Amino acid sequence: MPANLPPEYFKVEQKYLQARTLEEKILATQELIRIAPKHKGTEKLLRVLKRRLAKLRRELEGREKRRGGGPSFAVKKEGCAQVALVGLPNSGKSTLLRKLTNARPEVAEYPFTTRLPVPGMMNYEDVQVQLVEIPSLVEGSSLGRGLGAQPLSAARNADVIALVVDASSDILSQVKTLVRELEESGVRLNRSPPRVTIERRGEGGIVIRGKELAEGGEEGIKELLREHGIHNALVVVEERVSLRTLEEILEGSVVYRPCFVLLTKTDLSPAVGEPPEGLKVIDAGKPPEELKREIFESLGLIRIYTKRPNEGPSENPLVLPRGSTPLDVARAIHKELERGMRSARVWGSTRFPGQWVPRDYPLQDGDVVELHS
Ligand SMILES: Nc1nc2c(ncn2[C@@H]2O[C@H](COP(=O)(O)OP(=O)(O)OP(=O)(O)O)[C@@H](O)[C@H]2O)c(=O)[nH]1
Ligand SMILES: [Mg+2]
């Protein structure tokens, strides 16, 4: 099918060809993607353009890493989750980190005070959550503006994203900028990862389950895999996906993270506007203990205390994703345990203390669990 590209497409393509810097190439490629018509005949072109964009971005990040002595941007994970504090300059990230952890980053009224990620431990009851102040983002961070794209890769590395938003200036536009920059660098917020697995194999060709759910069907998937040099793989597709999504999975270029807003400077004036609907918002002006509880509750984690028959519950909880079951508890303790697991007794969320539950029972924060084979 002919692509029928509009004349301006070729103008921008010219711009791309003449671009001298990586940033210019990225901008031109983004523009090409935007103006290329979206239909069957341009699918392949769009894929090629998006792949080029991803490659240019990786180059940009790689270059910055080499320049800036990269390792200092990577923060080793500690505690039950790493939460990135992401915000525009002066949004109050350091102030918040000082309020909630033992870290002592400099607070100042000029922008870009914090230039490297700063970790701190937030103690909440019997768990520890790692908060990391990410150096400020600005519009265009994903293109290397402001402090460059490295803050974005530090944010990408975290388990959860907290958008630190200054309530005394336009809330919606701050959220939009942050979300856009994160999306541009391959961080999807509050969305579940596509239910697709691609497992490379040594032989057997390309086997596909659920091919009718993939855009382009069997041929589309096979062509995509071939383009990536993959000739043997098991592909399982469990929901409708585009070829672009399949490509992201192949390249591991996108991560999916839960996200919420921490609203700062609520003491200054009435809040300016509102964040988009559906995004959880926490007033960071609350007393520390209350704030810590709300943050923990926003991480999508639950604390589970295990016990053996006739003994007391463990002192330190296992911290698992919300919705975890006794089977997940068994798995978290030991693979072996998982196999023999039949049922469990639960104290806490059940109607009766010590009630027998099936192994797929959805546990709640604070439950005590006794596993039985
Ligand atoms: N009134 C008020 N001022 C705040 C609050 N939080 C931060 N500030 C002030 O805002 C300015 C910036 O605060 P920081 O905590 O340094 O902000 P940041 O996001 O870490 O800034 P950079 O690291 O420079 O990007 C400082 O002058 C703080 O005193 C708040 O909740 N209320
Ligand atoms: Mg700071």
pLDDT tens-digit readout, 103-123: 999 999 999 999 999 999 999
pLDDT of residue 352: 96
Give the ligand 1 atom nearest the CA of 115: 23
Instruction: State mean pLDDT over 77-83.
Output: 95
**pLDDT digits 0-9 by tens, 182-229:** 999 899 999 999 999 998 888 899 999 998 888 888 998 998 898 888
- Which residue among 94, 131, 138, 178 is best mutated to probe the pocket of ligand 1, counting the most ligand atoms within 8 A of its Cβ? 94
Give the ligand 1 atom nearest the CA of 107: 16
CA-proximal residue: ligand 1, atom 13 (nearest)? 92
Q: Among residues 343, 353, 349, which one has the least CA distance to residue 373?
A: 343
Instruction: State mean pLDDT over 230-248.
Output: 90
Q: Give the angle 95-184-50 at the CA atoms, nearest 5°.
A: 165
**pLDDT digits 0-9 by tens, 44-61:** 898 889 889 888 888 887
- Which residue among 85, 97, 107, 114 is best mutated to probe the pocket of ligand 1, counting the most ligand atoms within 8 A of its Cβ? 107
CA-proximal residue: ligand 1, atom 14 (nearest)? 92
Give the ligand 1 atom nearest the CA of 136: 25
Instruction: State mean pLDDT over 87-92.
Output: 97
Calculate what percentage of the chain has a pLDDT beyond 70: 97
Cα(370)–Cα(21) distance, integer angstroms: 60
SS (H, E, C) the chain: CCCCCCHHHHHHHHHHHHCCCHHHHHHHHHHHHHHCCCCHHHHHHHHHHHHHHHHHHHHHHHHHHHHHCHHHHCCCCCCCCEEEEEECCCCCHHHHHHHHCCCCCCCCCCCCCCCCCEEEEEEECCEEEEEEECCCCCCCHHHCCCCCCHHHHHHHHCCEEEEEEECCCCHHHHHHHHHHHHHHCCEEECCCCCCEEEEECCCCCEEEECHHHECCHHHHHHHHHHHCCCCCEEEEECCCECHHHHHHHHHCCCEEECEEEEEECCCCCCCCCCCCCCCCEEECCCCHHHHHHHHHHCCCEEEEEECCCCCCCCCCCEEEECCCCHHHHHHHHCHHHHHHCCEEEEECCCCCCCEEEECCCCCCCCCEEEEEC
Cα(301)–Cα(296) distance, integer angstroms: 7
Cα(54)–Cα(66) distance, integer angstroms: 19
112 lines ligand 1 (CB under 6 A): yes
pLDDT of residue 160: 97
All structural domains of the chain: 7-68 (1.20.58), 72-190+258-297 (3.40.50.300), 196-251 (no CATH), 301-372 (3.10.20.30)
Q: What is the token pair recorded at 133?
A: 């102040």
99 lines ligand 1 (CB under 6 A): no
Whether residue 259 contacts residue 160, with contact meaning beta carbons closer than 8 Å, is answered with yes
C-alpha pair distances (Å), 129 with each of 151, 181, 322, 369: 20, 25, 16, 23
Residue 66 pLDDT greater than 90, yes or no: no
Calculate what percentage of the chain has a pLDDT beyond 90: 64
Q: How confident is the model at residue 102 (pLDDT cuts 50, 70, 90)?
A: very high
Instruction: State mean pLDDT over 133-152.
Output: 92
Protein residues near ligand 2, an ion, with CB under 5 A: 93-94, 113-114
**pLDDT digits 0-9 by tens, 286-331:** 999 999 999 999 999 999 999 999 999 999 999 999 999 999 999 9
User: Which residues make beta-bridge pairs with 160?
Assistant: 83
Q: How confident is the model at residue 68 (pLDDT cuts 50, 70, 90)?
A: low
268 lines ligand 1 (CB under 6 A): yes
C-alpha pair distances (Å), 229 with each of 141, 249, 253: 32, 15, 17
CA-proximal residue: ligand 1, atom 32 (nearest)? 265
Cα(128)–Cα(106) distance, integer angstroms: 23
Task: Count other C-beta atoms under 10 Å from residue 316's C-beta.
Answer: 10
pLDDT of residue 329: 95
311 lines ligand 1 (CB under 6 A): no
Residue 69 pLDDT greater than 70, yes or no: no
Cα(13)–Cα(31) distance, integer angstroms: 9
pLDDT of residue 209: 92
pLDDT of residue 122: 98
Whether residue 94 contacts residue 107, with contact meaning beta carbons closer than 8 Å, is answered with yes
Cα(143)–Cα(26) distance, integer angstroms: 7
174 lines ligand 1 (CB under 6 A): no
Is pTM beyond 0.95? Reply is: no
Q: Among residues 185, 226, 228, 183, which one has the least CA distance to residue 205?
A: 226
Instruction: State mean pLDDT over 228-240.
Output: 91
Q: What is the token pair recorded at 145?
A: 């503006």
Q: Among residues 53, 50, 100, which one has the least CA distance to residue 79?
A: 100
